[in-house]
């Protein structure tokens, strides 16, 4: 019989603990941050507008809830992650070890 070295499983494991949200950040059509979202929602301003970033003439829908201006997605997501880590009070070493969950309402088709 040959000894087989142990290999880490690639199968996701279900933990026994409960998830805990320690920090949050928001990217919305009102801008970046929870303050921008709350202010926009309370103002009753619509968040939807004409799509400006690309040609939508051949598409069925010509409006969307897009961020103001033409922000670069990577820059905005990186900033939102930093904001969430700041909100959670994580140090640099804690940030490096923390799992990250990025929910999205985007429907991929």
Query: What are the domain boundaries of the chain?
Result: 27-97
What gap in Å lies between CA 70 and CA 53, rounded to an integer? 7
pLDDT tens-digit map of 14-62: 667 676 767 888 888 898 888 999 999 999 989 888 888 788 899 999 9
- Strands (E) in the chain, as ranges, are 27-28, 31-32, 49-50, 63-64
For 82, the enclosing helix (H) or strand (E) is helix 73-88
pLDDT tens-digit map of 55-81: 889 999 999 888 877 778 888 888 888
Rounded to two decimals, the pTM is 0.60
> How many residues belong to the chain?
109
């Amino acid at each position: 019989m040959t000894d087989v070295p142990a290999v880490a499983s690639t199968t996701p494991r279900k933990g026994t603990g409960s998830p805990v949200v320690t920090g949050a950040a928001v990217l919305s059509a009102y801008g970046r941050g929870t303050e921008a979202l709350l202010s926009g929602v309370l103002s009753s301003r619509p968040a939807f507008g004409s799509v400006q970033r690309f040609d939508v003439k051949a598409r069925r829908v010509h409006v969307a809830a897009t961020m103001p201006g033409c922000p670069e997605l990577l820059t905005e997501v990186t900033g939102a992650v930093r904001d969430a880590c700041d909100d959670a009070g994580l140090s640099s070493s804690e940030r490096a070890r923390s799992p990250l969950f990025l929910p999205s309402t985007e429907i991929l088709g």
